[in-house]
Amino acid sequence: MKRLLQYLAALLIAYVLILVLARVFEDHLIFFPNFPGRLTGDWNPHGLGVEDVWLHTSDGVKLHFWWIAPKNAEFTFLCFHGNAANIANREDIYRFLADLPVNVLAVEYRGYGKSEGSPTEAGLYLDAQAAYDHLVRERGIPPQKIVVFGVSLGTAVAADLVSQREVGGLVLEAPFPSAKAVARRVYPFLPGLGSVVRSKFDTAAKLKNIHVPVLVAHCSSDPVISFPLGEEVFRAANEPKTFLRINGVCHEEATLVAPGQYRAGLLEFLSRLKSDH
């Protein structure tokens, strides 16, 4: 019995140590700006008409964005990517959106790509606000013509922004309800992990305060953010809302896996936004 108690005590200490380490290195477990490389990708994509934009956030961080403005675009997509790589690695996504056609402001988070600073949850929210303010104040884009488009981690950033700013619509690809929900599903063998992490990324809670049209898109076999998490986000959203199921294995690649289906879904979504205004 004494030896058993010693084993249990050792396991408890090891478990607590794991939770402490997860808390200490939390940002390194969430943000991956150097994967596969901070500046990898094509920074001058042929034919895309990229304009480099430099902005400062309210806390003084200098950020780099891409502005893409195709002809005859009625709506502007404010785009927030996932937790790895940079905007140059997502050229295909922005090209897909520009072909709809819509304007695209591709946000590069602090600590990613050519942007300065270090990523944090609060910092990413400030980055989003700076991008929105640029569209409204500097480019004169009417708020009702702005569609906020988030993918993976970017869905949490998108939801936070839309809960505080006026926009026309919200598109969430591969979303998750909260950091706690992801921790429970990805690390079921570490109960309590979700309670010790500082980051919240609580999209489900923020959706309660969002009353613009919402489109949720999710791959049926998403190896990173499981499909049921996307369904949970959809249930949390207010009407009007639409769920677009992309059949296949993908994460952040719905535009490549099912371009025809995704394009049709987005165009229908934009058509409804037009009729609403």
Instruction: Give the start-to-end residue ranges of the domains of the chain.
Output: 31-37+45-276
Reported as half-sphere exposure (CB side, CA atoms, 13 A), residue 168 has a value of 23
Tell me, yes or no, if the pTM score tops 0.75: yes
Q: What pLDDT sits at residue 61?
A: 98
Question: What residues contact residue 70 under an 8 Å CB cut-off, 6+ apart?
Answer: 49, 98, 99, 101, 102, 103
DSSP 85-145: S-SGGGHHHHHHHHTTT-EEEEE--TTSTT--S---HHHHHHHHHHHHHIIIIIS---GGG
Low-confidence ranges of the chain (pLDDT < 50): none
Backbone angles phi, psi at 242, to 5 degrees: -135, 140
Q: What is the pLDDT of residues 197-256, one digit of tens each?
A: 667 899 999 999 999 999 999 999 999 999 999 999 999 999 999 999 999 999 999 999
Q: What pLDDT sits at residue 121?
A: 96
CB 225 within 8 A of CB 181: no
Other Cβ atoms within 10 Å of 223 Cβ, number: 9
Query: For residue 214, what are the β-bridge partners?
Result: 170, 241
Q: What is the pLDDT of residues 10-32, one digit of tens each?
A: 666 665 565 555 555 566 678 99
SS3 state of residue 76: strand
Question: What are the distances in angstroms from CA 249 to CA 77, 194, 218, 257?
Answer: 25, 26, 10, 8
Compute the distance between CA of residue 205 and CA of residue 210 in angstroms, rounded to an integer.
10
CATH architecture of the domain 31-37+45-276 equals: 3-Layer(aba) Sandwich (3.40)
